[in-house]
Structure 1
């Protein structure tokens, strides 16, 4: 089992907070840009 610290992380361009790899993003991790649906929907405001 992996520790959370070992997971890949990215920085959300909207809220500028780090977010970790999630199993549901396993196949599309390279395409993931936003940490949540909320940030994704606010992408045009910034």
Structure 2
């Protein structure tokens, strides 16, 4: 089974939906957004 098909089937499962919802909640948190910006800035400096 190709990798993308496996990912799609996981995201369609109840567990995949839970993980997706949790990721959306984390991404909407301003503190997490700042952490992500800081991490990207560190990679760009190198």
TM range (shorter): under 0.3
Q: Which has the higher contact order (CA 8 A, sep 6+)?
A: 1
Q: TM-score, normalised on structure 2?
A: 0.27
The structure with the largest strand share of the pair is 1
The structure with the largest helix share of the pair is 2
Which protein shows a greater Rg? 2
